[in-house]
Structure 1
Amino acid sequence: MANSTRMNLSAGIASSLVALTLVGLKIWALGDTRALSVGASLIDSAMDLMISLGGLAAIAYAARPADEDHAFGHSSAEDLAALGQSLFIMVSAGVITWASVARLLSDTPTELANERRGIVVMVVSIILTVCLVLWQRHVAKRTGSRVVAADSLHYLGDLIPNLGAIASLWASVAFGLTSIDSIVAIGAALMLVVGALNIFRGAFNALMDRAADDDMIAGIEDVIRDFPGVHGFHDLKTRMAGSVTFVNVHIELDGRQTLDEAHTIGAALRREILKAFPNTDVLIHKDPVGVEPHPEDPSRR
């Protein structure tokens, strides 16, 4: 858990620093080239900075240990942040699409200047963005953080507008064309919407206590089923909160064992599940083999 938190924080800090650097570079490029495509990319980077700072705050808050008011920790803050990020991405995609269509329909061409300097800035932006996305994807795969995944998606979407800005600047130099970036921007906006919907769905499901995916549940069942000393199990329940999956399960043990022996088996099983699925919080209840629930047990109703 501690290692996952450090990785998530490193991704959040890197994201904020890259966004801040890109904003500074694009402010200079916009003033030098007067290119609207660079201006649109600047606005996108400014939004990236706000989202990255918000995501970093959510990751830091989610890393706080459990307390009296939040006995299961604060990891749901990641889902709230991812939900907000996905909505923000969809709104941004709508704005980009509207601006691109308006530019395509406009009869007034955009006058550009110093296009080559602008191209250099956009190339540097792409290099920084690619490095950041590669690191974020590595972190998201290791930790399962939806905040990092959403931030990675947003930066990945930036690559196409940046390429569009380069194409627009090059086309302006070579052929006097200024509309290519608008077409590319519409494609990028559609890609952003599809990815944002996936992030939104995952965050919403986690906030609604949706169970873990079928592969993970099957994997947990395999660990329990083959574990020495466990004669069976039932009532396996899972729920997601941020990058943490909570696992509750009842295992069936030989009722003639001592409490120490039963505890040893349960503790070893918990370690095995955590080893197979690191970002989990596991609670194991021990039942004697063949025990029947009490008629007044609420779980029977």
Structure 2
Amino acid sequence: MSYNDAQTRLNLSAGLASVSVAIVLVGMKLWALWATGALSIAASLADSAMDLLISGAGLGAIIYAARPADDDHAFGHSSVEDLASLGQALFVSVSAIAIAIAAGGRLLSQEPQALAAEGAGILVMALSATLTLGLVAWQARVARKTGNKVVAADMLHYVGDLLPTIGAILALWLSSRFGWAKVDSIVALIAAAIMLRGAGQIGVSAWHALMDRAAPQEIIDRIAGIARTWPGVMGFHDLKTRTAGAKIFVQLHIELDGAQSLDAAHEIAASLKRTIIEAYPQAEVIIHKDVWRG
């Protein structure tokens, strides 16, 4: 099932907003890093640069995945979301490791790295947090209205970004107030760990989708429950699912009374298909009709 025009426009607006905010955040944090030399800001900057790539890929995926199936892509184009996610996960991992190495070196150094312009850095990071909160609010609204998983995932990622941003503010404040410069490196290490964890989740999810892994068990169980109790369905078998991006592909064989008319059998299968799609609007459902043998 495809999005309608209004849903597509909402999804695109969320994607464009995400890219725009990411560009602004990268510019602000580049200046803040230059002014302060704080590794915690470097971690937040790397996260924002990753956000820009993820947001750009997400916007591209929304546009490309919305294209209808064609002769070369009979099942549509939604797998592009998983390809983009896998590349993003690799980039995040490299960035996190680089930050962790730099932070570890500073933490072990006998010469503590002094920070500068902490007040300006705090202001920039506070503005960054405000922009991020505004974006998250809009993405949450769009995700509720359209059910788009790309927008929902991007929203969750930005929610996670708030921690490194708040951590950078804390590190700058502690350095300014008490001279605790090493807190900056500790915050950077924590941020790097969070980035690695997120990259692992993104990468594993994308890999499973590209390998045609089945939908989550709760989805399979719900579809089976619908089919099991559907009027006119005597039994079912060979329920198979796979995921690609935001889509779920479902194949199901139902067993029907062979004595009924073809029109009646078709209506049972069609109504069952409609109900499954109502439960999972982005599902592509194929139902095969078999004669019940008792």
Q: TM-score w.r.t. structure 1 length?
A: 0.86
Structure 1: stretches of 5+ with no match in the other structure: 292-301
**1 or 2 for the larger relative contact order (CA 8 Å, sep ≥6)?**
2
Residues 79, 206 of structure 1: 8 Å contact kept = yes
2:92·2:195 contact (CA, 8 Å) conserved in 1?
yes
Partner of 2:259: 256
Question: In the TM superposition, what whole-angstrom CA distance separates every residue of 1:214-235 from its partner, at most 9, and x where no partner exists?
Answer: 1111100111111111111111
Distance 1:150 1:229, change over 3 A: closer
Q: Would the alpha carbon gap of residues 238 and 5 (structure 1) be closer, same or farther in structure 2, given more than 3 Å must change? A: farther
SS of equivalent to 2:255: strand
Indicate whether 1:128 and 2:131 are aligned.
yes
CA shift digits 1:175-222 (9 cap, x unpaired):
222221210121122222223222222211111111111111110011
Aligned counterparts, 1:1-301, within 5 A? 1-2=2-3, 5-133=8-136, 135-136=138-139, 143=147, 145=149, 147-148=150-151, 151-152=154-155, 154-290=157-293
Runs of 4+ in 1 over 6 A off after TM superposition: none
2:175 maps to amino acid: S
Q: Which moved more, 1:199-208 or 1:44-53?
A: 44-53
What is the CA RMSD across the aligned residues, in angstroms? 2.5
Give the whole-Å Cα distance in 2 for the aligned partners of 1:219 and 1:71: 27
Contact 1:82/1:150 (8 A) holds in 2: no
Question: What SS does structure 2 have at the residue aligned with 1:256?
Answer: coil
SS in 2 for 1:284: strand
Question: What SS does the aligned partner of 1:2 have?
Answer: coil
Distance of 2:41 and 2:58 partners within structure 1: 25
Q: Tell me the distance in 1 between the aligned counterparts of 2:132 and 2:66.
A: 26
CA gap 1:29/1:187 in 2 versus in 1, 3 angstroms: closer
C-alpha distance in 1 between matches for 2:99 and 2:155: 19
C-alpha change, 1:72 and 1:230, in structure 2 (3 Å) is: same
User: 2:143–2:152: 8 Å Cα contact kept in structure 1?
Assistant: yes
What percentage of aligned pairs have identical amino acids? 58
Q: What is the count of residue pairs matched by the alignment?
A: 290
1:160–1:184 contact (8 Å) kept in structure 2: no
- Partner Cα distance (1:97, 1:157) in 2: 18
Which secondary structure state, in structure 1, belongs to the residue aligned with residue 242 of structure 2? strand
Give the letter for the 2:66 counterpart. A
